[in-house]
Amino acid sequence: MRLILVGPPGAGKGTQAVHLAEHYQIPHISTGDIFRANLQNGTALGLKAKSYMDKGELVPDSLTNEMVKDRLAKDDAKSGFLLDGFPRNVSQAEVLNAMLAESGVLLDAALELSLDNEEIVKRLSIRGRDDDREEIIRRRLEVYSEQTAPIISFYRDANLLVTIAATGEISDITAAAIAALSKKLS
Ligand code: AMP
């Protein structure tokens, strides 16, 4: 299974990614987690990424794409992966296509977790991560609708999009995702 997860900040991508990666026995690759780990370890990449993350902006593609390429080249990602937080814009989606084409593999699906704006703001304001302050939340939502949301049409046009509602119990959302994915792939 080669899967990407798309959805606004606060849709629960990270939580669902953990459950889905476990279900499909594939590595969960979160670009946000990799940036945060780099920051914690004080790497140059981490320091560069921080200035963008703190503002709610996307880290430049030049840093992000290389990092993903390295991660996907590792052995555990050879037979499948779940990408969480990448691609984040159409250009990254095109780069991902090219990376996969180079390895002669295809994406199976793009899973969209959909959530309305009111619910997003409510959830983010109680999460309390460093980049969850109100003005940053607002910027991250703008960045999502301006830069990330267009990848939904990109994957719809490629006939890879599977959309589920990201509301309700965590386990019910996971079950709905698995059901929708198996229907799509059958
Ligand atoms: P996340 O944990 O996915 O919410 O990501 C946290 C932050 O990391 C984002 O707000 C961006 O600043 C940065 N980030 C994560 N993934 C990407 C990506 N694919 N492209 C650019 N920036 C990213």
The CATH number given to whatever domain includes residue 13 is 3.40.50.300
> Is residue 93, in this structure, part of any structural domain at all?
yes
> Is residue 52, in this structure, part of any structural domain at all?
no
At 120 the pLDDT is: 85
**Which residue's alpha carbon is nearest to atom 6 within ligand 1?**
32
Q: Is 35 in the pocket of ligand 1 (CB under 6 A)?
A: yes
Q: What are phi and psi of 22, to 5 degrees?
A: -65, -45
| Ligand 1 atom, smallest distance to 140 CA | 10
> Is residue 63, in this structure, part of any structural domain at all?
no
Distance 59 CA to ligand 1 centre (A): 7
The model's confidence at residue 130, banded by pLDDT at 50, 70 and 90, is confident
Q: How much of the chain exceeds pLDDT 90, in percent?
A: 85
Q: What is the pLDDT of residues 38-87, one digit of tens each?
A: 999 999 999 999 999 999 999 999 999 999 999 999 999 999 999 999 99
Domain that holds residue 25: 2-29+80-185
> Is residue 45, in this structure, part of any structural domain at all?
no
- Tokens 């999009």 correspond to 161
The total number of structural domains in the chain stands at 1
Its pTM stands at 0.94
> Is residue 163, in this structure, part of any structural domain at all?
yes
> Is residue 106, in this structure, part of any structural domain at all?
yes
**Which residue's alpha carbon is nearest to atom 19 within ligand 1?**
86
Q: Average pLDDT of 95-101?
A: 97
> Is residue 145, in this structure, part of any structural domain at all?
yes
> Is residue 57, in this structure, part of any structural domain at all?
no
Q: Is 90 in the pocket of ligand 1 (CB under 6 A)?
A: no
Q: Label each residue of 62-84 as H, E or C.
A: HHHHHHHHHHHCCHHHCCCEEEE
Q: Can you tell me the distance from the alpha carbon of 34 to that of 64, in angstroms, rounded to the nearest whole number?
A: 10
Contact 110, 4 (CB under 8 A): yes
Which of 86, 84, 112 is CA-nearest to residue 97?
A: 86
Q: Is 53 in the pocket of ligand 1 (CB under 6 A)?
A: yes
Which mutation among 15, 58, 131 tests ligand 1's pocket best, with the greatest number of atoms within 8 A of CB?
Answer: 58
Q: Is 13 exposed, middle or buried (0-12, 13-18, 19+ CB in 10 A)?
A: buried
The model's confidence at residue 154, banded by pLDDT at 50, 70 and 90, is very high
| Ligand 1 atom, smallest distance to 35 CA | 8
